[in-house]
Amino acid sequence: MHSSIHFKVTKRDPKSNARIAKLMTAHGVIDTPCFMPVGTQATVKTLTPRNLEEMGAQIVLSNTYHLYIRPGIEVIKKLGGLHQFMGWRGPILTDSGGFQVFSLAKLRKITNEGVTFNSHFDGKEHHLTPESVIKIQETLGSDIAMVFDECPPYTEDASVLQEAVNRTVLWSARAKKVHRKKDQALFGIVQGGCNIALRRQSLERTLELDFPGYALGGVAVGEPKEHMNKIVYEVTPLLPAGKPRYLMGVGTPIDFLTAVEAGIDMFDCVTPTRYGRNGTAFTHQGLLVVRNAKYISAKGPIDPDCDCYACENFDRGYIRHLLNANEILGHHLLSYHNVYFFISLMKKIRESVRKGNFLSFKKRFEMRYNAGSR
Active site residue 210: no
pLDDT surpasses 70 at 363:
yes
What pLDDT is attached to residue 259?
98
Contact 246, 215 (CB under 8 A): yes
Phi–psi pair at 70, nearest 5 degrees: -155, 120
Identify the pLDDT of residue 121: 84
Residue 254: pLDDT band by 50, 70, 90 thresholds? very high
Predicted confidence (pLDDT) at residue 3 exceeds the cutoff of 90:
no
State the DSSP string of 242-283: TS-EEETT---HHHHHHHHHHT--EEEESHHHHHHHTTEEEE
Other Cβ atoms closer than 10 A to 266: 24
187: confidence class by pLDDT, cuts 50, 70, 90 = very high
Q: Residue 374's pLDDT band (boundaries 50, 70, 90)?
A: low
Q: What is the pLDDT of residue 101?
A: 78
Among residues 13, 95, 143, 303, the one annotated as catalytic is 95
pLDDT, tens digit, 9 for 90 and up, residues 266-291: 999 999 999 999 999 999 999 999 99
Indicate if the pLDDT at residue 306 is higher than 80: yes
pLDDT at 122: 87
- Mean pLDDT score across all residues of the chain: 96
Which residue out of 143, 255, 265, 268 is catalytically annotated? 268
- Secondary structure of residue 128 in the 3-state scheme: strand
Task: Specify the range with the lowest mean pLDDT, choosing from 190-194, 217-221, 264-268, 309-313.
Answer: 217-221
| Residue-level pLDDT at 2 | 52
Tell me if residue 268 is catalytic.
yes
**18 in Cβ contact with 264 (< 8 Å):** no
- Give the pLDDT band of residue 60 (cuts 50, 70, 90): very high
Look up residue 106 and give its DSSP letter: G
How many CA atoms within 13 Å lie on the side-chain side of 336? 26
* pLDDT score at 120: 80
Tell me the pLDDT tens digit for each residue of 88-147.
Answer: 999 999 999 888 877 776 778 899 999 998 888 888 999 999 999 999 999 999 999 999
C-alpha–C-alpha distance, residues 99 and 73, integer Å: 19
pLDDT for 233 equals: 97
Specify the 3-state DSSP secondary structure of 238: helix
What is the rounded distance in angstroms from the CA atom of residue 262 to the CA atom of residue 278?
31
Q: What is the pLDDT of residue 287?
A: 97
Where, residue-wise, is CATH 3.20.20.105 in the chain? 6-269
The answer to whether the peptide bond before residue 33 is cis (omega within 30 degrees of 0) is yes
The CATH code of the domain at 6-269 is: 3.20.20.105
Q: How far apart are CA 203 and CA 210, in angstroms?
A: 11
Residue 105's pLDDT is what? 67
